[in-house]
Structures are given as structure tokens and as C-alpha cells.
Amino acid sequence: MKPYRLHFFVCQGKRCSGHGSEELLDRLKKGVKDAGLKDVRVSKSGCLKMCKETQVEGEYSPAIVVYPQGVWYRNVSAADIDEIVSRHAAKGEAVERLVYYRLPA
Ligand code: FES
């Protein structure tokens, strides 16, 4: 088995779950599978702690992180998933309007 080219972690912590992260996880998994991207993995994660950065409920939720690029997405909605699949998962290009933080290259 080869290592994955990209690995998406969709937060399933309490705050993100309250903002639809379960649907995001399902849609992202399906989108990657339907696109035939066998070198991309989608997993769930516990709280990524972005929600601890704010007192405003849902300011950053739902959150997704992508490795090895170290791209952190915030406020992802179901409507964003097709673009994340076609741009980021397929081509490795982050969807900039959703980027909260990116690890230095
Ligand atoms: S619950 Fe998702 S970042 Fe905390």
C-alpha cells in the first residue's frame, strides 16, 4: 500500500457536529470515492480545538484539516464539498476562501 497523497480529517467534535459535520463527512467521503481518488483518504476526527479559539458559537465550525499540507478549513458547508473535491482533493489546490490557517511550507 502507498501512503495517501492527501488525508482529510473532518471534525466530529460536539460543536462541529452541531453544525452539520456528519453530513460533511459523508459527502466528502462519497465525493472522493465517486471521483475515483484512491490516493485520498477521508477520516473523522475528534475536536480539533479551533472552536476553543472563540466564544462565538459556530464561528469556525465545522472544521476540516488536510495533511500533509497542513491546511485548516473553517465554516465548511455542504455546498462547499464539491469544490473541495474537485479542487483540493483532485488537484491539491486549497479552496482559499475557506482557509483558516496553513502550516508554513
Ligand atoms: S468541535 Fe470541531 S473544532 Fe472543536
pLDDT digits (tens, 9 = 90+) for 13-61: 999 999 999 999 999 999 999 999 999 999 999 999 988 887 777 788 8
CA distance 23 to 38: 21
pTM for the model stands at 0.94
At the fourth CATH level, which superfamily is domain 6-102? Answer: Glutaredoxin (3.40.30.10)
Q: At 1, is the pLDDT very low, low, confident or very high (cuts 50, 70, 90)? A: confident
For ligand 1, atom 1, the nearest C-alpha belongs to: 13
pLDDT digits (tens, 9 = 90+) for 51-99: 888 777 778 889 999 999 999 999 999 999 999 999 999 999 999 999 9
| Ligand 1 proximal residues by C-beta, below 6 Å | 11, 13-16, 47-51, 61, 63
Pocket test for ligand 1, best of 8, 10, 51 (most atoms within 8 A of CB): 51
Other C-beta atoms lying within 10 Å of the C-beta of residue 21:
23
CA distance 42 to 4: 10
H-type helices in 1-105, by residue range?
14-17, 21-34, 81-83, 90-91
| CA-atom Rg of the chain in angstroms | 13
Mapped onto helix, strand or coil, the DSSP state of residue 55 is coil
CA of 1 to the centre of ligand 1 (A): 31
Does residue 75 come out as left (phi exceeding 0), alpha (psi in the -120 to 50 range) or beta?
A: left
Domain boundaries, the chain: 6-102
